[in-house]
Amino acid sequence: MPRSFVTIDGNEAAAYVAHKTNEVIAIYPITPSSPMGEWSDQWSSEGKPNIWGAVPTVVEMQSEGGAAGAVHGSLQAGALTTTFTSAQGLLLMIPNMYKIAGELTSTVFHVAARSLAAHALSIFGDHQDVMACRATGWAMLASNSVQEVMDMALIAQAATLEARVPIVHFFDGFRTSHEVAKVEQLTVEDMKAMLPDELIRAHRERAMTPDRPVLRGTAQNPDVYFQAREAVNKYYLAAPAIVQKAMDRFAEIVGRRYRLFDYVGAPDAERVIILMGSAAETAQETVEFLVERGEKVGLLKVRLFRPFSIDHFLQALPATVRRIAVLDRTKEPGSAGEPLYQDVLTALIEGQAAGKAPFAEMPKVIGGRYGLSSKEFTPAMVKGVLDELKKDSPKNHFTVGIVDDVTGTSIDYDPSFSTEDDKTIRCLFYGLGADGTVGANKNSVKIIGEETSFWAQGYFVYDSKKSGSITISHLRFGPKPIRSTYLISRANFVACHQWSFLERIDMLKWAVPGGTFLLNSPYGPEEVWDHLPRTVQKEILEKQLKFYVIDAYSVARETGMGSRINTIMQTCFFAISGVLPREEAIEQIKKAIVKTYGRRGEAVVQKNFAAVDKTLERLYEVKVPGRITASKDLRPPVPPEAPEFVRNVLGKIIEGNGDSLPVSAFPVDGTFPTATAMWEKRNIALEIPVWDEKLCIQCGKCVLVCPHATIRAKIYDPKYLEGAPPTFKHAPARWKDFKDLAYTLQVAPEDCTGCALCVEACPVKDKAQPKRKAINMEPQEPLREPEAANWDFFFRLPEFDRNKLNQTQVKDLQILQPLFEFSGACSGCGETPYVKLLTQLFGDRALIANATGCSSIYGGNLPTTPYTVNPEGRGPTWNNSLFEDNAEFGFGMRLALDQQARYAAELLRQLAPQIGENLVSALLSADQSTEPGIFEQRARVAELKKKVQELLPKANGQSLLLRDLLAVADSLVKKSVWIVGGDGWAYDIGYGGLDHVLASGRDVNILVLDTEVYSNTGGQCSKATPRAAVAKFAAGGKPAAKKDLALMAVNYGNVYVARVAMGASDMQTVKAFLEAEKWNGPSLIIAYSHCIAHGYDMRYGLEQQKLAVQTGHWPLFRYNPALAAEGKNPFQLDSKAPSLPLEKYIYNETRYTMLVHSKPEDARRLLAEAQADVMNRWRIYEQMAAMPGAPVEAIQRGN
């Protein structure tokens, strides 16, 4: 069968071979390797077989540790088994990897290599994770490109079966895993030819079976463990040759030849770079460029890193080599050098000593680090390294690609050096996350890759926000294979798909002279020029760019495309770029539309066709006037009044120049200030809410539900209105006790995301025009400046005295300052209103432990972060440890606080005579069960500190105790520990720890933001996913019921448990938060969080929450052990019996309806079962709620 060319990404390439050559696949989602598992699951659910005709079993486990355990078991029972992972996931597999290697078991793990969480988490690519596995005994094979990923996946599979050494097959996360490229697809025949039956039979024969019983996993003792461990040696000695043999066999079958160490460059090279991974492609492009120009340089690509074959290594290097730079894409602080550098040195020294090395004299070797967390690695940097090797004393242990102005490790390079081929067309597209730009560009790469003789490459960069995120697509097309694994900085074609980006991003700096600029503009060809920022006009003129405009949003509206401009902009690209003849391009676009959207219905295809046709009528070339006319220029990333760190560091990141920041700009230990999101004005809302002060009843519901804390209320003395901006609105406060005060509801116009949840929450309607509410959405642009001034004035109004408010009332809650604002969460997010509420109630005394997931990303992703401070400078302190350990992490915080408080109390008792008995007694007996009590204690502690400061100079023998007391005095004020995370953490990977912490009895508060799916990694099924819902790994609808985590926690008896849904009952939610925090023991709040992964219009999220409760899917309850202590029933059911059928709720959401459309019979059956789940659970809850109060003595209080 002839091989075909496909345009796919690295993940799909790896998964393709893995799925075809395995029988069992156990996985767990983690970025950037998740798609490998998703592809496998999809293919198995479609019934696609492996090369032996069986459909592989794909199972999702509760963690990577679980996946590795399942893989180990499956291998032991004889199935060809694999998994896919990255980063911390790979670390969780390490214990099993030792076992699998120790038992000489053939398997391949495919790893999209990623940074590890250290001073910070990063989802991007480097080799830290795979390098952490060096000691496990696994072979390690690197792929440098998408084609190599497919090839090496098969070579690894063949080699492991013969060598019996398991193999980590790795490639760079994102750069390779997510790069879309044209590759030749291996056939089933290729795979069969590479995997002889006898090796597979041998693998099966080593399996455990009661028919030929054996025993593995013995415990061994000092007498034999050592020798037995050495028994594997011959397999490791043989492995490199076996891998080379597999590579040779592959070359015979397929034609592409690989070696364990592949050398490219001058045969008489004097300076050589050694590295592995995607950077090898860039290095090869650069080396070939330089060799053509007469330089004696070379590159050694390391493919099989472990077992490291010194012989093969020495044979690969030219004898002429005098200088070597070894580049590691990892960092091992405190080591003598990074891993590849150390292995190269060892090899050279051993080779030289053994007389095997070809060199006249020992080459000089330097090691360096590059590319951590997908940091760009460009030809300029490669040249920089080669130039460094020319120096008399080249820098060792250097870094390249950053400026290290602290320890001076970085080397210089000329950033203007380029190896880009003129024949390669390079295109940059700036799009908005939701506008479909990336999807359209992936389609374009496919069209060009599969329908023309051109090679094609697509790489996509996203910013760190989940709402209003900017995407940048880097596309290359050309007659020669493309090795450029770096971003485009010389673009022939630049497209700006969003008008608002023009004032934020200087994108034309990447355009080459004479290039083309395509702009989606609300202004036509005659008027657009005067609306452009000065910098844009200047660059168009100076570079003599061809300039085209289209009003894509009006075309989208007219053709029923809504806000999707993907097809329109794609058509423009093909129409003016000249990559394909126009007619052919249009035909191919239409074919791609049918392929992409056909299964979603004819109507969708037709509207896309209409968009294509309409686009061609509405695309105009602009006659560029010969002069600059702009009155405005790009906006500064942050205002000049922002704090220095925000201006100098975060501002650079915001404007897209984070790469230029030197090492000295950063904290050494990952500690960042809070209160920074307020400086990043993103202006992403097309419409914002506008307050009608005459209609408003000041109920505060809009403030409560706002996910981004952009709608706020204050009550204040009217005297502060002096100097208010002209359009600043206010009304008399509608509070019985504060009649004389003024009230203002103010929107932060530049921070609002335009979700309109507030408008939906507003209960007031204009009697004459019921479509008008007390807040209404209106276009942002004309309101931006006046409302920004109003917001500024509002923000400076004093905060109201919290002690005068009733915190159980939603109306009063709106006045409490949120200490979580302007996050990067999705527009209309269902999680963030709960987080915000937490900070309103307890933010000034909260320590937050945050599990990895959506809440850690919108909570802590740079550049700016949403946790903030009150006027006294207090606010939540926040940290993210890992995904799996969050309950324990927060629990540890509690232990420390309690321990310090105990120590402080002990010191107080010891120092009472000096400090004063009255103050000490008041401090030790303080009632901090209420907020005023806490505030009073704060005042006492302030007094104590003052007293201690006074005592210190004359303390003599007790100064140590006094200093200690000063250090721990603040622990005498009650602190509130919150453990926050999603359902993936609480129900799955972190459940063991969560359970342990619940059982501990300690005073921690756990908030589970339950979206019923792994939201952050893209909608994979969790144990919180309800029956009948479709999710990744549950494509046929989840067959099992949602785990009732709340009921499981209730069983402990001493845990406060609440299930809440703000949209159904805000009062109950507020009560639950207050009671949970008050309960002196573990508390668990499970909060229904509507989510984009549900496939629902987020604007109506609150209404959907209500339906979840009314149908009984999400019964509200509170289990308060404090009531049991009073002899009452602690279980209070807060919602009524199901009053609507479940389908009224679930069939509003795509996650359910897609099953109705795809498998109607299954959907019907699962609906019936899910309805039965609801009724059965309700019966249990009803019985529990009807039980009489528990006897007091049965209650175990926390602590």
Partner 1 sequence: MPVDLTTTYLGLKLRSPLVASSSPLCKEIGNILRLEDAGASAVVLHSLFEEQIQLESGELDRFLSETAESYSEAASYFPELGSYNLGPEPYLEHLRKTKESVDIPVIGSLNGISTGGWIRYAQMMEQAGADALELNIYFLPTDLELTSQKIEDTYCDLVSHVKASVRIPVSVKLGPFFTAFGNFAMRLDSAGADGLVLFNRFYQPDFDIENLEVVPNLVLSDSDELRLRLHWVALLYNRIRPDLAITGGVHTAEDVVKGIMAGARCTMMTSALLRHGIPYLEKVEEDLIDWMEEHEYESISQMRGSMSAQSVAEPAAFERANYMKVLSSYTLKPAPR
How many other β-carbons are positioned within 10 Å of the β-carbon of residue 563? Answer: 13
Whichever of 174 and 455 has its CB closer to partner 1, that residue is: 174
459 binds partner 1 (CB under 8 A): no
Write the DSSP symbol of residue 627.
Answer: S
From the list 58-66, 482-490, 883-891, 1015-1023, the region that binds partner 1 by CB under 8 A is 1015-1023
Is 566 in the active site?
Answer: no
Which listed range, 405-413, 599-607, 616-624, 1077-1085, lies at the site for partner 1 (CB under 8 A)?
Answer: 599-607
> Does residue 821 bind partner 1 (CB under 8 A)?
no
Catalytic residue among 31, 85, 861, 1120: 31
Q: Which of 1001, 973, 950 is nearest to 1195 (CA)?
A: 1001
Q: Tell whether residue 1150 is a contact of partner 1 (CB under 8 A).
A: yes
Please tell me the distance from the alpha carbon of residue 691 to that of residue 729, in angstroms, as a whole number.
8
* Active-site residue, selected from the candidate residues 11, 21, 85, 114: 114
Q: Write out the binding residues for partner 1, residues 107-166 only, by CB under 8 A.
A: 123
The single residue among 330, 485, 1017, 1065 that binds partner 1, judged by CB under 8 A, is: 1017
Residue 775 within binding range of partner 1, rule CB under 8 A: no
As separate numbers, helices (DSSP H) first and strands (DSSP E) second, the chain gives: 41, 35
Closest separation in Å from C-beta 562 to partner 1? 7
Shortest distance (Å) from residue 1156 CB to partner 1 = 8
In sequence order, what DSSP letters do the residues of 1059-1120 get, joined into one string? EE-TTT-HHHHHHHHHHHHHSSS-EEEEEE---GGG-S-GGGHHHHHHHHHHTTSS--EEE-
Axis-axis angle for helices 146-163, 233-254 (nearest 10): 130
Q: How many CA atoms lie within 13 A of 262 on its CB side?
A: 22
Q: Does 1096 bind partner 1 (CB under 8 A)?
A: yes
- Given a contact cutoff of 8 angstroms between Cβ atoms, the answer to whether 849 and 978 are in contact is yes
Dihedrals phi, psi of 341, to nearest 5 degrees: -60, -45
Contact with partner 1 (CB under 8 A) among 367, 433, 830, 863: 433
597 binds partner 1 (CB under 8 A): yes
**Of the candidate residues 296, 476, 504, 564, the single one contacting partner 1 (CB under 8 A):** 564
* Residues near 6 by beta carbon (within 8 Å), at least 6 away in sequence: 182, 183, 185, 449, 450
**Of the listed pieces 133-141, 318-326, 762-770, 1134-1142, which binds partner 1 according to CB under 8 A?**
762-770
Query: Which of 143-151, 533-541, 744-752, 1025-1033 is the region at the interface with partner 1 (rule: CB under 8 A)?
Result: 1025-1033
Rounded-to-integer distance, Cα 385 and Cα 390, Å: 9
The C-alpha atoms of residue 1135 and residue 1117 are separated, in whole angstroms, by: 7
Is the distance from CB of 659 to CB of 375 less than 8 angstroms?
A: yes
Is residue 983 at the binding interface for partner 1, with CB under 8 A as the rule? no
Q: Which stretch binds partner 1 (CB under 8 A): 305-313, 405-413, 675-683, 1029-1037?
A: 1029-1037
Residue from 46, 197, 198, 872 binding partner 1 (CB under 8 A): 46
Among the candidate windows 330-338, 582-590, 598-606, 879-887, which touches partner 1 by CB under 8 A?
598-606
Under rule CB under 8 A, residue 767 binds partner 1: yes
Closest CA to 906 of 971, 846, 952: 971
Which residue has 């400090």 as its token pair? 915
Which distant-in-sequence residues (6+ apart) come within 8 Å of 918 by Cβ?
none
908 binds partner 1 (CB under 8 A): no
Residue reference for tokens 């190896």: 419
Active site residue 880: no
Question: 10 Å Cβ neighbour count for 957?
Answer: 6
Q: Which of 73, 1095, 1141, 1189 binds partner 1 (CB under 8 A)?
A: 1095
Report the alpha-carbon distance of residue 325 to residue 396 in Å, rounded. Answer: 9
Structure tokens that stand for 510 in this block: 């990447």
Q: Does 322 participate in catalysis according to the annotation?
A: no
Instruction: Kindly report the number of other CB atoms within 10 A of residue 697's CB atom.
Output: 12
Considering the complex, state which of residue 602 and residue 785 has its C-beta at the smaller distance from partner 1. Answer: 602
Strand partners, 744: 714
Structure tokens at 1009: 């933001």
Out of 406, 603, 942, 1168, which residue is the one contacting partner 1 (CB under 8 A)? 603
CB of 41 to partner 1, least distance (A): 7
Phi, psi torsion values for 1084, nearest 5 degrees = -130, 120
For residue 174, state whether it binds partner 1 (rule: CB under 8 A).
Answer: yes
Task: Please list every residue from 1031 through 1070 that binds partner 1, using CB under 8 A.
Answer: 1031-1035
Nearest CA-CA partner of 327 in 261, 262, 280: 280
Minimum CB distance to partner 1, residue 596 (Å): 9
- Rounded to 5°, the CA angle 371-373-378 comes to 30
Q: DSSP for 772-799, please give it.
A: -BSEEEEEHHHHHHHHHHHHHHHHHSPP
Among 770, 871, 913, 953, binds partner 1 (CB under 8 A): 770
Binding-site member from 94, 434, 912, 922 for partner 1 (CB under 8 A): 434
560 is an interface residue for partner 1 by CB under 8 A: yes
| Three-class DSSP category at 879 | strand
The answer to whether residue 821 is catalytic is no
Stretch that binds partner 1, among 162-170, 417-425, 1014-1022, 1167-1175 (CB under 8 A): 1014-1022
Catalytic, out of 38, 60, 64, 148: 64
CB atoms within 10 A of CB 361: 8
Window of 430-438, 571-579, 677-685, 1121-1129 that interacts with partner 1 by CB under 8 A: 430-438
Here's the x/- map for partner 1, 716-755, by CB under 8 A: it reads as ----------------------------------------
Q: Could you say which of 87, 121, 1092, 1107 contacts partner 1 (CB under 8 A)?
A: 1092
**Cα(1181)–Cα(1136) distance, rounded to whole angstroms?**
11
* 16-45 footprint of partner 1 as x/- string (CB under 8 A): ---------------xx-xx--x--xx--x
Judge whether 1031 and 1151 are in contact, CB under 8 Å: yes
Q: What is the per-residue DSSP string for 349-401?
A: HHHHHHT----SSPPEEEEEEE-GGG----HHHHHHHHHHHHSSSPPSSEEES
Using CB under 8 A as the binding rule, whether residue 515 contacts partner 1 is answered as no
Name which of 525 and 560 has its Cβ closer to partner 1: 560
- Total chain residues near partner 1 (CB under 8 A): 62
Binding mask 1116-1145 for partner 1 (x = CB under 8 A): ------------------------------
Q: 790, 1016, 1069, 1148: which is the annotated catalytic residue?
A: 1016
- Closer residue to partner 1 (CB): 440 or 805: 440
Q: Is residue 1018 at the binding interface for partner 1, with CB under 8 A as the rule?
A: yes
Q: Of 99, 466, 614, 701, which lies in the binding site for partner 1, with binding defined by CB under 8 A?
A: 466
C-beta of 486 vs 716, nearer to partner 1 = 486
Q: Decide if 158 contacts 254 (C-beta within 8 A).
A: no
| Interface stretch with partner 1, choices 292-300, 445-453, 630-638, 1089-1097 (CB under 8 A) | 1089-1097
Question: Which member of 731, 966, 1154, 1185 binds partner 1 (CB under 8 A)?
Answer: 1154
8 A C-beta contact, residue 947 and residue 933:
no
Smallest Cα–Cα separation from 834: which of 975, 631, 671, 1006?
Answer: 1006
Residues with a catalytic annotation lie at 31, 64, 114, 1016
Report the interface residues with partner 1, using CB under 8 A.
31-32, 34-35, 38, 41-42, 45-46, 123, 174, 432-434, 436-439, 442, 460, 462, 466, 469, 471, 560, 562, 564, 597, 599-604, 607, 765, 767, 770, 857, 1013, 1015-1019, 1030-1035, 1092-1093, 1095-1096, 1150-1151, 1153-1154, 1157-1158, 1160
